[in-house]
């Protein structure tokens, strides 16, 4: 799959047709597409993913497993150091129920992912 020049790369598992058409959408169309996709997930009794990239992060892969989500992501320093980007790194992400109520997303760092492991 290809992405627009200097644009994000679609994660593994995104159908080619969707990956080709999404970059053509306006920001408003993209926002509406996200809303529609979230509604479809709720329709299929799926909850929102606790996996959201932070500032200067790129999620390369997110795979749901039993009890957690396996995430491979790369980070870029705010100062754009000479070694950027860093990673990719492997995390296990779990949404945990808090004793006082509500939930918290916990990211457990597992280590660097080497090219032959991807």
Residue 30 three-state SS: helix
Residue 82: phi and psi, rounded to 5, are -65, -20
Euclidean distance between CA atoms 34 and 32, whole angstroms: 5
3 pLDDT band, cuts 50/70/90, is: very low
Check residue 2 and give its pLDDT.
42
Question: Mean of the pLDDT values across residues 11-32?
Answer: 89
Residue among 38, 39, 40, 9 at smallest CA distance from 22: 9
Whether pLDDT at 102 is above 70: yes
Whole-number Cα distances in Å, 44 to 37, 40, 52, 63, 106: 11, 6, 20, 18, 25
DSSP state of 102: S
Euclidean distance between CA atoms 73 and 90, whole angstroms: 7
Report which of residues 8 and 88 the model is more confident about: 88
Percentage with pLDDT > 90 across the chain: 29
> Is 9 in contact with 3 (CB distance < 8 Å)?
yes
Q: Where are the domains of the chain?
A: 14-110
Rg, Å, the chain Cα set: 16
Whether pLDDT at 1 is above 60: no
Encode pLDDT of 29-86 as tens digits. 988 888 888 778 777 765 556 688 888 888 888 888 888 899 999 999 877 788 888 9
């Amino acid at each position: 799959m290809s992405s627009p020049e200097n644009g994000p790369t679609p994660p593994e598992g995104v159908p080619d047709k969707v990956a080709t058409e999404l970059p053509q959408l306006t920001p408003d169309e993209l926002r509406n597409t996200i809303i529609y996709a979230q509604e479809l997930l709720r329709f299929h009794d799926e909850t929102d993913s606790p996996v959201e990239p932070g500032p200067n992060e790129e999620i390369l892969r997110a795979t749901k497993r039993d009890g957690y989500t396996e995430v491979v992501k790369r980070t870029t320093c705010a100062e754009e150091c000479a070694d950027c980007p860093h990673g990719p790194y492997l995390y296990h992400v779990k949404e945990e129920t808090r004793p006082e109520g509500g939930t918290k997303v916990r990211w457990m760092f597992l280590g660097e992912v080497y090219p032959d492991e991807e």
